[in-house]
Amino acid sequence: MQGVVQSYDPATGDGVVIDDVTFEEYDLASNALEGSVFRMLRQGQRVLYVLDDDGLATEIRLGSEVDMETPELLPD
Protein backbone atom coordinates (compact mmCIF):
# COMPACT_ATOMS: atom_id res chain seq x y z
CA MET A 1 0.00 0.00 0.00
CA GLN A 2 1.13 3.57 -0.44
CA GLY A 3 0.18 6.83 1.13
CA VAL A 4 1.22 10.15 2.60
CA VAL A 5 2.35 10.90 6.13
CA GLN A 6 -0.28 13.12 7.73
CA SER A 7 1.55 13.54 11.02
CA TYR A 8 4.51 12.14 12.94
CA ASP A 9 5.90 12.87 16.41
CA PRO A 10 9.56 11.74 16.62
CA ALA A 11 9.52 11.93 20.42
CA THR A 12 6.75 9.36 20.79
CA GLY A 13 6.83 7.60 17.41
CA ASP A 14 3.10 8.28 16.99
CA GLY A 15 1.91 9.12 13.52
CA VAL A 16 -0.78 8.77 10.88
CA VAL A 17 -0.58 7.73 7.21
CA ILE A 18 -3.37 8.48 4.70
CA ASP A 19 -3.89 5.81 2.03
CA ASP A 20 -3.56 7.11 -1.56
CA VAL A 21 -6.51 5.10 -2.88
CA THR A 22 -9.10 4.95 -0.08
CA PHE A 23 -8.03 8.09 1.83
CA GLU A 24 -8.36 6.02 5.04
CA GLU A 25 -6.18 7.10 7.96
CA TYR A 26 -3.95 4.50 9.60
CA ASP A 27 -2.01 4.94 12.82
CA LEU A 28 1.63 3.90 12.74
CA ALA A 29 2.55 0.71 14.55
CA SER A 30 5.12 1.14 17.33
CA ASN A 31 7.67 -0.75 15.20
CA ALA A 32 6.77 0.99 11.92
CA LEU A 33 10.31 2.26 11.25
CA GLU A 34 12.22 -0.91 12.27
CA GLY A 35 14.39 -2.07 9.38
CA SER A 36 13.56 1.09 7.43
CA VAL A 37 15.91 3.71 5.99
CA PHE A 38 13.81 6.24 7.90
CA ARG A 39 14.69 7.43 11.40
CA MET A 40 11.84 9.91 11.34
CA LEU A 41 9.07 10.97 8.98
CA ARG A 42 7.84 14.37 7.84
CA GLN A 43 4.34 15.55 7.01
CA GLY A 44 3.56 15.08 3.31
CA GLN A 45 6.21 12.40 2.79
CA ARG A 46 5.07 9.63 0.42
CA VAL A 47 5.68 6.12 1.73
CA LEU A 48 4.91 2.47 1.09
CA TYR A 49 3.58 0.47 4.04
CA VAL A 50 1.90 -2.75 5.12
CA LEU A 51 -1.09 -3.05 7.47
CA ASP A 52 -0.55 -5.42 10.37
CA ASP A 53 -3.25 -7.64 11.92
CA ASP A 54 -4.36 -4.73 14.13
CA GLY A 55 -4.84 -2.37 11.14
CA LEU A 56 -1.73 -0.33 11.95
CA ALA A 57 0.70 0.90 9.29
CA THR A 58 4.07 -0.84 9.56
CA GLU A 59 7.14 -1.67 7.44
CA ILE A 60 7.41 1.95 6.27
CA ARG A 61 9.71 2.28 3.26
CA LEU A 62 10.42 4.26 0.10
CA GLY A 63 9.23 2.98 -3.25
CA SER A 64 10.58 3.25 -6.76
CA GLU A 65 9.48 6.09 -8.98
CA VAL A 66 6.86 3.80 -10.55
CA ASP A 67 5.49 2.81 -7.12
CA MET A 68 5.20 6.42 -6.05
CA GLU A 69 3.02 7.71 -8.88
CA THR A 70 0.09 9.86 -7.86
CA PRO A 71 -3.14 7.92 -8.36
CA GLU A 72 -5.88 9.25 -10.60
CA LEU A 73 -8.66 10.84 -8.55
CA LEU A 74 -12.25 10.08 -9.41
CA PRO A 75 -14.40 13.09 -10.35
CA ASP A 76 -16.93 14.24 -7.73
Q: What are the tens digits of pLDDT across the range 3-32?
A: 999 999 988 989 999 999 999 999 999 999
Side chain identity at residue 54, one-letter code: D
DSSP 9-74: -TTT--EEEEETTT--EEEBPTTTTTTSS-SS--TT-EEEEEE-TTS-EEEEE---TTTTPPPPPP
Query: Both ends of the chain: CA-CA distance in Å?
Result: 23
Task: Give the mean pLDDT of the chain.
Answer: 84
Q: What is the pTM of this model?
A: 0.77
The domains found in the chain, sorted by start residue, are 2-61 (2.40.50.140)
**Share above pLDDT 70 across residues of the chain, in percent, rounded to a whole number:** 82
Rg (CA), the chain: 12
